[in-house]
Structure 1
Amino acid sequence: MSHINENKSGQLLIDHLTQVRDIALKTHKTHGKNKELDEIIEIICMCHDFGKASKYFQDYLKGEYNGRLKCHGEISAYFAYYMLPEKWKFIGFMCVKRHHGNLEPSTSLFEYNKKQLIKISNSIKENIEELNNIYKKDISEFFELIQDEDFLEGPIDDFYDVEFEIEDYINTHYIYSLLLTSDKTQLIRGSAYENKTDVYDGYVKKYQQKIKKELVQKYPNIKDTKLFKIRNKIYEEVLNSIDNIDINKNHIFSINVPTGTSKTLAAYGASFRLFQRIYNESNKNIIPSIIYTIPFTSVIDQNYEVLENILKENNIKIFESFILKHHSMTPLEYKDNTLDEEKEYRNYDARFCVENWQSTIITTTFVQLFNTIFKAGKNSIVNRFHKLAGSIIILDEVQAIDPKYYKIIEKIFDILCKKFNCYIITVTATKPLFLQGIELVKSNKEIFKQLDRIQIENYIDNPINIDTFCEILKEDIYTQSEKSFLIVLNTIKSSLYVLDELEKIEDRKVLYLSTAIHPQRRLEVINEIKNSDEKYILVSTQIIEAGVDIDFDIVYRDFSIMDSINQTGGRANRNAIKGKGILRLFYLIDENERPFCSYIYSNSLLDATKKILQGRQIINENEILDINEEYFKAVDNIKSNDASNKIYKYIEKLEFNNIRKEFELIKDDIPKEDIIINYNEETQNCIDIILEGKGEYQDILNAWRTLNKYKISVLKKDLKNINDNCNNKKGMRILDKCYYDENRGIKITNISIC
């Protein structure tokens, strides 16, 4: 037996092993290329629970033994080592030994107890006839080798003798993830998860037509605008390009077009059309996944809503087994209809299906994607690594990735594309010199030159203090009451100072966004602006930049790096129906004459931006492409590859722990702690569920995830000023809403504002 249920019925070992093998091979086949791994995957899956054939484990299942000899991972790892071809022995040993834990090549990986192994193997040997039948060969030799010190030392010798490459790293994680996925899926589903095949670009086209119709109804003159025609042109060019590429040779593509030109729909259209080409031209053997990634959780709901609306417009029922949203604030829920019947998975089963990305179209964050690659050996994360194979990965706002990781990401994606049939689509208005592929919008340079929605007024040559800035701003607001204003600052401290000044203006509604405002309230503010015709004044930090679909007449921006300035400009006159939007760029200094931008951005990137913009008093939108290209050439010249080189060296030595430490997409060196704002009835209900421990695992987990929407981070040094007002229970710091202003953050004085 491999497992026994509560009712004492269970599953035969041969059935578990063969079903895990079949699930792994079926999943592997739908990913496409790399048939070299077929035999390796089969052997590892068939060997992974070999040790369960011992009397000790069988007695453990019956509740009659609970000693150390019940352990099955180590003996199974040595058996896999015995069965595998030379090239794969060490990788197989590692994957099998750690299939119930984390894959960590370390001293503990090679520790063994010879006497214990011999006892277990002698017990297993009693079942040799059944095992010879399972493995279709005489395995008597193994029981002799397991008593040989040289054989037991073999994995250690391999580890120190072999030099590992990135391809070995990818192969290891691919096989490990297939083993983990198949082992757990066999118990949860009983069969392999398969992607759905009804993914058609016609779905996107139908939704696009609806959006166009609604936009014309709201703004009748928009259909005659240049932007309206450009959006149509971009979409058609993207699909035409996908039709004409050689999908066997070309795997990396780009959609590099201005902000506000419906990049999201173009990306979905491209990925859906590419999906069908891959599926049909592989004789329906390869069924891709579409993994749409975004840098910020703040806009993931907005992107997922577009996907939902596409499917709803085409009368398609929505199940997590078809489309999935995965980030830290997503409630745990998993409904499946892949077997022509609806089924809901709950608790740990649901969590595994979600975190394993058992869905056809996944919307997630850069952090989740790159954790899948670089959180080396972490069972709970890397179990989905195999989903990258045969997938179409969309990197929306690709410029948000730190340049120090470009080199290592490109190396890994190169192997995933060539060996594992992966496709990459980068989406951006400000394309860095990174993942250079085929541009899907052939006329993109012409499009950049045609647009004339905004004008940048550049005042950075004359640094000013924040008081002077506020006076300029207030005068502009007083004289243009018919205009909406967005003011983007670099720090919370400077943004709150400006907010205080602008709230003194009568008869104008002033709103505020920053990380001092919890995510739920930020969403409420964004929706209020989107759904109203009122001429708001919005004060914000840079969290407003990418992907937030709101539109203002005049934008004020404290100096920052070039791609950030461009993103801010994308919040002005997005639909080109308000004449010309204005972006006024200033260089603000604090009371110590230190630029506010220096608290946030790299000095080298700021210097590159300043050098490019100096002397340009007026910048029109049609000049921005050339400026962007000049900026990213400068970035490429000054970027450091130290982080990438470190990770590469760690990969060569399989130092997984160091890889995990070195790759941090969002790194904050300032120590902070999370505080939950008890904001409304929803938060109180969630707090009660957690404190009382009532309900199933899923209910408690979802309570925690819901509370993430009401969480803010504060500096550790400020906790002493806050803790007296917090309830600290079960790992939560809960601040009552009476100490929180929904329009500016924590009310308590004597806390730092950075």
Structure 2
Amino acid sequence: MDYKILNELIDNVDKYKAHKKPKNEKDKKGEQIYETLLEHIKRTEKYFAKFWITKNGDEILERFCNLMLKDKLKNDEQIENAKKLLKEMIKGIAIFHDIGKVNPNYQVIKIGNKEISRNEAFIDANHSFISSISYLSYFRSKLMKEVSKKKIRDLMKEFLLYHAYIIERHHSNLNEIEKFLKKIFLEENDNYKESLMDKFIKVISENNLYKYELNLENNDTKLLINEFKRKKCTNNTSKGRSKEQCIYLSMYIRWIYSLLVASDYYATSEFMNDMDFSKVSDLDNIGYWNKFYEDTSLLKNIRKYQKTKYPLSDEKLNTVKDINILRSEIFCEVEEKIKANTDENIFYLEAPTGSGKSNTAINASFKLMQHDKRLQKIFYIYPFNTLVEQNLETLEKVFADNEDIKQNIAVINSITPIKVSEKDLNDNEEKDVYQKALLDRQFLNYPMILSTHVSLFNIIFGNRQSDVLAFYQLANSVIVLDEIQSYKNKIWAEIICYLKELAKMFNIKIIIMSATLPDLDILSRFQAQAVNLLENPSRFFAVDCFKNRVKLNYDLLKIDKDDILDKLKTHLKQYLKSDKKILIEFIKKKTAHDFWVDLQENEDFKDVQIEYLSGDDSIAERKRILDKVKKTIDTIILVSTQVIEAGVDIDMDIGYKNISKLDSEEQFLGRINRSCKKEGIAYFFEVDEASNIYKDDVRLSESIVLKDVNMQKILELKLFDEYYKKVLETTMGKYSYHFDEFIKDISDLNYESISTHMKLIDDTQDMVQIYLVRTLCVDGEILDGKQIWDSYVDLWENGRKTMSYAEWKIELSRITSKMNNFIYQVSKHNLRIGKFYEQMGNIICLEDGDKYFIKDKFNREILYIEN
């Protein structure tokens, strides 16, 4: 079957159009340029086949069928026949996805096709739902005629439902499949006389739009739907599906939906831009990347160590004073473990803070790709945008002399402009380059990608079309997840269970790493264990270089909360003339800000450099502060919020921290005496209660925070397995119902609920973005906030009149990247910003932005004071 079948299915198919170019683009005769339906289906089919082949679709389908059908069909021959049928039905999705554009109202209203007359019998200009029922009817008839085995027929009929649902949603978000089922079938208690499907079938038949008969009676659809409902997740797999199979099915629908939307999008872009976009940017030359990587001085030193000294005995390891030796030991052991377990999918890397995990992960990724040539992409995923930027700098240093490789590393987040190749701009027309750049960004068409957990989880669990667009790109990739435990433990079980099945079905290698990594296998319930890349991480944690590089002091925990801030100032005075770098972390932004102001106004601290770092700081301001901290040789005090904890590469001498979660305490300690060349000390105190900030986190139970003497001992000895055993026991008991709800949503194919359930960050509907007009100097460039805002407004109001959509989106990404230096997210409640402001969407622009700053730091409280 291919696109030409439309000639057999649709009467006079050539008169139907799929798309039209903008009015300002005419043909040589000065007439509107149309893409026929046949041309569009041909293009969509081309891209669908392209993506299917490049992403090894046959292998994925093979695995899926083996996982889903082996316990349903008797023998290999039946399974093989079912696979062939399913693949043909999948191919049919691309061919049928727009067949509903024969709707006369679509042709008249959407396309302006003068060969067609409007038909009031049609409900509206809908085409996706008509396409879905056309597909359903055609393939159901084909199954009934050509497949003799009832078991295979029944299995495939159910998949027809899923494929029809995908077609119906291909211009929309994924929602709950039940909503689609109600459009094609009426329950006895429904008040309507006929379903939406019945109405369309009737009018299509009466107008003879197809050469084949649409034949789906209510009894037919009832049988189809009953098959779906009967096989929902159950403990009795002879009657229904296992939990794993429910997960595979939900992934399968997401995968095919992603392939269809991508193919449709690329096909439309080809017509609109007169340009083929078939080039796929995958990492197919890992040998070249690895050779360059191995030629760096860092790798040469490690390889020399590997040949001459690795491995050290436990006895020698305990005497090591040079942290680079420990990093090399970890690097080499992980490499050995990777090589011995290349066929596994999930890997845990638990190693001390400062032990070179990022470099070790790069090497592990390359080794996995060298072993399995099917692996085509690397995703490095971090908790925060700041860490994305930091690790981009690391990679750019590694590949500093290779522009080709650097050009193939992309940052995907909300604050980085869409990547446009300067070489392509010089070699091609701007229109073509912008469209290619936009497609690359939307569909993650890069060999190496740096992004955040939020972005990745949107792709895996989100239900918006924009989330799922690039899901197919995850297949045959390496994903490095850094600090996954930093998110709410309420969904840890869901995360690990889903990731394990995702990796199995799509041949994904996932490396989960942290200095404080819970044994997530305990939560994975029904799955095989992951591979620990360090056989015994505690042997490294126990080395003096890591364990004792920071002395811990709990004396300040005995001070009353009302007195602690004054006591802190007094305590700090002993270090003011010591040329020490001092870090003070608060867990509440207001407390941190107020303490920083107090220090600056205190006569005793007038000769000391004092800086303040919070989540409100722009990337440029953050970089300025951290660079200053790194370079200074005199006493400096850095007051900070929790943004300092994860992965920030600074080396302080003295630390003070408001207690919170034990793993946060260890992350904080990773900023003290990081090089192991001095003596570090950390003091813990409490002024704000963590339970008021980290809502619903079991890690804040009284018995497992630093107020407990046993926890103090666990932190000193780095016995995080004991700590996480307590955490996981509580998690499994407290949130088992939560996991069951997740499996139910998956079984019901309720993508909206799945998306809500798996949100890493709670909804921010009560928040608004404030743009504060100022003049800033960023990396030597003067940024005029008013000028940037005016450019943004002009782009929204006039840009689309003079630019192509792709160029407009890229210019928008560039201007919003600059705007991030002026934007702050604040609560809507009780805002007192007066009448004199301008608003674009969810962004409110306030002139005279400097008045909202105290000592050049944003003070959000001013926004809530009557002006």
What interval of TM-score do these two structures reach, taking the shorter chain for normalisation?
0.7 to 0.9
1:744 to 857, 861, 865: 857
For residues 236 and 72 of structure 1, what CA distance do their matches in structure 2 show?
Answer: 57
Return the letter of the residue paired with 1:734.
C
Distance across 2 between alignment mates of 1:570 and 1:422: 30
Distance 2:201 2:817 in 1: 43
Q: CA deviation at 1:429?
A: 0.4
2:162 corresponds to 1:75: no
Indicate the residue corresponding to 2:550 in structure 1: 454
Taking structure 1 as reference, are residues 637 and 113 closer, same or farther at Cα in structure 2, changes over 3 Å only?
Answer: closer
CA distance in 1, matches of 2:703, 2:301: 37
Q: 1:532: Cα distance to partner?
A: 4.1
Maintained 8 Å contact 2:583/2:655:
yes
In structure 2, what is the equivalent of residue 136 of structure 1? none
Matching residue of 2:480: 394
Please say if 1:528 is aligned against 2:628. yes
Pick aligned residue for 1:476 from 566, 572, 588: 572
- Residue segments in structure 2 that go unaligned for 5+ positions in a row: 1-16, 27-31, 63-85, 141-155, 184-195, 234-245, 270-275, 303-319, 522-528, 776-782
Q: C-alpha separation between the residues in 2 aligned to 1:337 and 1:87?
A: 49
CA distance in 2, matches of 1:195, 1:123: 47
| Alpha-carbon distance in 2 for matches of 1:730, 1:125 | 43
Counterpart position of 1:227? 323
Q: How many matched pairs?
A: 707
Q: 2:215 aligns with which of 129, 145, 151?
A: 145
> Counterparts in 2 of 1:665-680, with a 5 A limit?
665-667=760-762, 671-680=766-775
Measure the CA separation in 1 of the matches of 2:299 and 2:426: 30
1:490 paired residue among 578, 587, 594: 587
Q: Do structure 1's residue 302 and structure 2's residue 390 form an aligned pair?
A: yes
1:123 to 1:310, Cα distance in 2 relative to 1, 3 A: farther
Which of 179, 190, 204 is matched with 2:293 structurally?
Answer: 204
Aligned CA distance change for structure 1 residues 416 and 750 (closer, same or farther; 3 Å) = closer
CA contact (8 A) 1:511 1:539 kept: yes
The 1:116/1:598 distance shift into structure 2, 3 A limit, reads closer
* 1:362 match: secondary structure: strand
Q: 1:117 to 1:334 in 2, by over 3 A?
A: farther
Contact 1:297 1:365 in 2 (8 A): yes
Partners of 1:473 and 1:516 in 2: how far apart?
Answer: 24
Aligned to 2:717: 623
| 1:23 and 2:47 aligned | yes
Deviation at 1:150, TM superposition (A): 4.3
Match of 1:570 in 2: 670
Cα distance, 1:734–1:207 mapped onto 2, change above 3 Å: farther
Question: How do 1:288-367 and structure 2 match up within 5 A?
Answer: 288-319=376-407, 322-335=408-421, 350-367=437-454
Q: Deviation at 1:615? A: 3.2
CA separation in 1, counterparts of 2:685 and 2:437?
50
Question: Is the Cα–Cα contact under 8 Å of residues 206 and 314 in structure 1 kept in the other structure?
Answer: no
SS of residue matched to 2:517: coil
SS at match of 2:265: helix
CA distance in 2, matches of 1:441, 1:201: 23
Alignment counterpart, residue 421 of structure 1, candidates 489, 493, 507: 507
Change beyond 3 A, Cα 1:617–1:417:
closer
1:219 aligns with none
| CA deviation vs aligned residue, 1:509-555 (integer Å, no higher than 9, x gap) | 11011234455433432233234444321101111110211121101
Decide whether the 8 Å contact of 1:27 with 1:194 is kept in 2. no
2:263 to 172, 182, 197: 182
Moved more, 43-52 or 256-265: 43-52
| 2:533 aligned residue | 440
Taking a change above 3 Å as real, the CA distance of residues 664 and 682 of structure 1, as seen in their structure-2 partners, is: farther
Deviation, structure 1 residue 495: 1.2
Matches within 5 A, 1:53-202: 61=111, 63-64=113-114, 71-81=126-136, 82-83=138-139, 85-104=156-175, 105-107=177-179, 110-111=182-183, 112=196, 114-120=198-204, 125=209, 128=211, 140=212, 143-145=213-215, 148-151=217-220, 160-163=229-232, 165-188=246-269, 189-191=276-278, 193-199=280-286, 200-202=289-291
Segment drifting more, 175-184 vs 687-696: 687-696
1:638 is aligned, of 706, 727, 730, to 730
5+ residue gaps, structure 1, are 129-139, 214-223, 280-285, 590-594
**Which amino acid letter does the alignment assign opposite residue 333 of structure 2?**
E
Give, in angstroms, the shift of residue 597 of structure 1: 5.6
Aligned-pair CA distance for 1:434: 1.4
Q: CA offset at residue 478 of structure 1?
A: 4.0
Whether the 8 Å contact between 2:158 and 2:227 is mirrored in structure 1 is no
| Conserved? CA contact 1:545–1:568, under 8 Å | yes
3-state SS of paired residue (1:316):
helix
The whole-number CA distance in structure 1 between the counterparts of 2:52 and 2:410 is 21
**TM-score, length-scaled by structure 2:** 0.74
The structure number with the bigger radius of gyration is 2
Is 1:580 aligned to residue 679 of structure 2? yes
Cα drift, residue 254 of structure 1: 1.8
Name the counterpart of 2:599. 502
CA offsets, 1:443-496, max 9 Å, x none? 533221112322221236514335444434444344452111000011122212
Identify if the C-alpha distance between structure 1 residues 71 and 198 changes in structure 2 by more than 3 Å, giving closer, same or farther: same
Q: Deviations over 1:240-294 (max 9, x none)?
A: 32222141xx111122111112211111111122112111xxxxxx242211111
The answer (yes or no) to whether the contact 1:459–1:587 under 8 Å persists in 2 is no
Q: Report the alpha carbon displacement of residue 74 of structure 1 after superposing the two structures with TM.
A: 2.0
Paired letter, 2:258: S
Q: How does 1:39-58 map to 2 (within 5 A)?
A: 39-52=88-101
Deviation at 1:718, TM superposition (A): 3.6
- Superposition deviation, residue 708 in structure 1: 3.1
Alignment check: 8 A CA contact 2:771 2:845 kept: yes
- CA contact under 8 A between 2:769 and 2:844: conserved in structure 1? yes
CA distance in 2, matches of 1:246, 1:187: 40
Is the contact made by 1:51 and 1:124 (CA closer than 8 Å) also made in structure 2?
no
Of 33, 37, 61 in structure 2, the residue corresponding to residue 35 of structure 1 is 61
Q: Deviations over 1:572-602 (max 9, x none)?
A: 111112x22111111336xxxxx36644455
Q: For 1:411 and 1:443, how far apart are their aligned partners in 2? A: 24
Q: Does 1:245 align with 2:312?
A: no
Between the aligned partners of 2:371 and 2:359, the Cα distance in structure 1 is: 18
**1:195-236 CA distances to partner (integer Å, 9 max, x unpaired)?**
1312343433334628989xxxxxxxxxx9420111222222
Deviates more, 1:608-617 or 1:20-29: 608-617
Query: Counterparts of 2:125 and 2:616 in 1: how far apart (Å)?
Result: 52
Paired residue for 1:255? Answer: 349
Cα distance in 1 between the residues matched to 2:228 and 2:722: 46
| Residue identity in the other structure for 1:631 | Y
Q: In structure 2, how many angstroms separate the alpha carbons of the residues matched to 1:748 and 1:614?
A: 35
Q: Distance in 2 between matches of 1:123 and 1:350?
A: 43
Separation in structure 2 between the aligned mates of residue 622 and residue 637 of structure 1, nearest angstrom: 22
Contact 2:247–2:746 (Cα < 8 Å) also in 1: yes
Match in the other structure for 1:545? 645
Q: In the TM superposition, what whole-angstrom CA distance separates every residue of 1:711-734 from its partner, at most 9, and x where no partner exists?
A: 2222333402x3457544554222
Q: Is the 8 A contact 1:512 1:743 kept in 2?
A: no
Q: Distance in 2 between matches of 1:335 and 1:106?
A: 44
Alpha-carbon distance in 1 for matches of 2:657, 2:747 = 45
Among candidates 365, 371, 379, match of residue 458 of structure 2: 371
Equivalent residue, structure 1, for 2:10: none
Aligned residues of 1:329 and 1:709 also touching (Cα < 8 A): no
Residue type of the alignment partner of 1:524? R
CA distance in 2, matches of 1:49, 1:668: 35
> For the Cα contact (< 8 Å) 2:705–2:711, is it kept in 1?
no
How far did residue 75 of structure 1 move? 2.4
Q: Find the residue that maps to 1:572 and give its secondary structure.
A: coil
Provide the rounded CA distance (Å) in 2 between the counterparts of 1:313 and 1:472.
Answer: 47
